Every structure is written in C-alpha cells, then in structure tokens.
Amino acid sequence: MKLDPSIPWAMLVLCATALIAWAVYWDFRKKRLQFEERRVMIENGLNPPPPAPPALAGWPGVKQQELQLKYAERRLMIEKGLPVQEDVQQKLPLTRRDYLRRGILASCVGVGLLLAYGLLSLESVDGTADARAWCLGLGPLALLIGIGNLIYSRFELVAHEPESKPEPGMQDDQRRGRAGPG
C-alpha cells in the first residue's frame, strides 16, 4: 500500500500549527498572570511597579540599559539636590601628532600591501589572483592616504599652532637651534 504524498505534508502543517498555538497559549497565560498580579496589588493598596519594557538583545540592549542607568542616576542626583554635570562629549580637534601617527600607520599599511602583492605574484597558490587584486587596489590607496596625512601634518603646524615667542637675549641662530658664534 502506497501513501499519498500529501499526507506527510498535511501532518507537518498540522504539527507546526499545533506548536504555534501552544506557544501563543502560554504567552497569553503569562500575560494574564501578570495582569492578575497587578490587579491584586492595586486592590490591596500597593503601587505596582511599571511593566518592564521588552529587552533588546545584543549591543542595542546594552546601549539602552546604559542610557536608562544614566537617566536614573541623573534623576536621583536632581532629587537630592546634587549638581548635575551635562554629559556632553566634545570631540577635540586633531593635533599635528594625530595626523603624523595616522600618516605613518596608513603609509606602512600601504607599503605592506604592495609588498604582499609582490610576494603573491612570485608564488602560485589557489586564490592568489583575488588576493593580488585586493592588494593592488588597497595598497596604493592606503599609501596615498598616509602620504596625504603626513603632508597635512607637516603644514598643519604652520597653520594652527602659535609660534613660540623668542626669549630675551637670544640670537636668531640660537632660536633656530643652531649654535651661535662663541
């Protein structure tokens, strides 16, 4: 006796529907018990806590919890009359050293990628064509970004940093760091 092929599919759909219905029933039961608990607390004159918001998973949940804790801390400080510091994150402008560091790092990465391209062209390994293409594409880009940062760090000093005032009694050669006569 051969079974009709639609019977296993019908059983699968029936089992999936029963599983979903079971999950919905238990969710409804949990919410009904929470509602009953709140109702009994109100009838007895207690103030029930506010229902908890659904927790987010992963990094958004961590960030949300951090913001809630900061808000609660700020509220408590205001209630106690303590001074509240505004949590303003001011981003400081980049200095000459920051551009110099970025330039050196990006230039080294670019040179490293170009060296990797050269080494990959000497070897014959599976997938080296893709790796060479990435090295050839990203190497010069990183190198040029690094060179740009190095150039900017060189001229940023002139544009934004104030010149040092000469000390009284110094000669021009001593100000420039050269040894004077004598």
Domain range list for the chain = 9-49, 96-162
Summarize pLDDT for 46-99 with one digit per residue, the tens: 998 887 766 677 778 888 888 889 989 999 999 998 888 776 566 778 888 888
Mean pLDDT is highest, among 12-16, 63-67, 154-158, 161-165, for 12-16
Q: What is the pLDDT of residue 62?
A: 84
How large is the average pLDDT for residues 140-162? Answer: 80
Question: CA-to-CA distance for 90 and 119, rounded, in angstroms?
Answer: 45
Q: Using an 8 Å Cβ cutoff, are 143 and 110 in contact?
A: yes
| Spacing of C-alpha 7 from chain mean position | 51
Is this model's pTM higher than 0.75 or not?
no
